[in-house]
Amino acid sequence: MATGRSHRPATRSRGIPEATVARLPLYLRALTALSERSVPTVSSEELAAAAGVNSAKLRKDFSYLGSYGTRGVGYDVEYLVYQISRELGLTQDWPVVIVGIGNLGAALANYGGFASRGFRVAALLDADASLAGRLVAGLPVRHIDELESIVADNQVSIGVIATPAGAAQEVTDRLVGAGVTSILNFAPTVLSVPDGVDVRKVDLSIELQILAFHEQRKAGETEGRQEPDGDVPAVMPA
């Protein structure tokens, strides 16, 4: 769902392509499910199917991590969980601020998956003064005027924007000015950021429009396969 633009080179410092990095969370999710079921090893074919990629691509991706598996045995699940988590930076705590505590922002604040994946919501911020002090997911909403001090005090490097489109760029500028270098943007707008700042965009309406396109195409294919009713008129000679 997320699409993004990076101002960094197409490969990471360790030579891992961005396309591979984008698939690592898929592998980690599948591996975590296996780990929770106490599965000790997994073949590349099984893991690829669980992650929704082909096995050749998976093996290539894992070669960048220096993990090649064992012929006839497969990959050690627990080691791969650790290895991918380390590569993604999930072996440390990442403080996150969420800006815009409307319906979407509140839902994000209540999402339990952040903490289990190494992300701690450090603060919830909103420009509406009437929301200040209100508890959402156990945290008091803070006024946007506190943004800079909160980022500095909590060493925040990741910001989540859930504001209306019109406010998103100003919030982005303030986050970047305060030292935030990674932004997850839920606002339906394109953000302008300087070099060294990564933006990932999640636009639910775009995803729905893409699904609508596929539904329309499938409907057209179904209609094309239907036999016409009645006799087909003969072609009259000229």
Binding residues for NAD(+): 100-105
d(CA 31, CA 85): 11
Q: Strand, helix or coil at 6? A: coil
Give bridge partners of residue 31 from the DSSP assignment: none
Q: Strand, helix or coil at 5? A: strand
Q: Which helix (DSSP H) or strand (DSSP E) does residue 155 occupy?
A: none
What residue numbers does the annotated binding site cover?
100-105
Closest CA relative to residue 171, chosen from 195, 196, 199: 199
**Could you tell me the two tokens for 184?**
């997850």
Q: Which helix (DSSP H) or strand (DSSP E) does residue 231 occupy?
A: none
Q: Output helix, strand, coil percentages for the chain, rounded to the nearest 5.
A: 45, 20, 35
